Amino acid sequence: MDPIAVTLLVVGGVGLLVLVLSLVVGEIGEFGGDVDGPFSVPAVAAFLGGIGFGGAAASALLPDLPGVATVLLSLLAGLVVALPLAAGALRLSASLRDMPTEPTLTDDRLLGTQGVVVSAVPAGGFGEVRLSVGGQQLKYSARSEAALPAGTPVYVVDTPSATSVEVVSTAPEPSGGPTP
């Protein structure tokens, strides 16, 4: 095999190894800080991979030329492959880093949340409710002024602590029956 192609394959392999290590281990030593932009690990790894593998492919396809011409044309072809790869890696890593996430659940977000009683809530005592918050089903200790049997639909009117809520029933009042 052509020594130029072997050398470029090794460069591409180093880029690929750096990329895999950065994915498995995280930012490798962070190169003296939180490097971002064109000198980030994914961008440099993609650039090395593009130079190496693109240059090796070009070296294999080029006709017999003097050694310097083969090296220069192979590096040029590798550069043509490497720049879009590095730009793509840069954009991909930036989009992953800046991806929106759900805000942290705070007590304020629980106010007005609807749910259902899963363990009966005695008047003035604690039971359990399941609330639907941001698409998730969460269980909280619940207190109510009135006794609430299991299965009663409720909504949150107060959050006395991070793990408990005060609820009121949203079940319709029984018509014609005595009100406790």
User: Could you report the per-residue pLDDT of 81-137, keeping only the tens digit for each?
Assistant: 999 999 998 888 888 878 887 777 788 888 999 999 999 999 988 999 999 887 788
- Statement: residue 178 has pLDDT above 50: no
- Statement: residue 177 has pLDDT above 50: no
Residue 144: exposure state from Cβ atoms within 10 A (0-12, 13-18, ≥19): buried
Q: Within a 13 Å sphere around the CA of 146, how many CA atoms are in the beta-carbon half?
A: 12
Mean pLDDT value across residues 57-73: 86
- What pLDDT does residue 174 have? 66
Task: Give the percent of the chain with pLDDT over 90.
Answer: 44
**Cα distances (angstroms) measured from residue 57 to each of 9, 51, 76, 77, 113:** 9, 10, 12, 9, 60
- Statement: residue 56 has pLDDT above 80: yes
Whether residue 56 contacts residue 75, with contact meaning beta carbons closer than 8 Å, is answered with no
Token pair in block for residue 90: 């840069």
Mean pLDDT value across residues 21-31: 66
Task: Give the percent of the chain with pLDDT over 70.
Answer: 90
Closest among 141, 113, 142, 115 to 130, alpha carbons compared: 115
**96-102 LR contacts (CB < 8 Å, sep 24+):** 102/134
Mean pLDDT value across residues 68-82: 91
Token pair in block for residue 157: 């009117």
Q: What DSSP line would sit under 78-90, residue for residue?
A: HHHHHHHHHHHHH
Model confidence band, residue 179 (pLDDT cutoffs 50, 70, 90): very low
Q: What is the helix (H) or strand (E) element at residue 169, kind and residue range?
A: strand 164-169
Tell me which of 107 and 7 has the higher pLDDT.
7
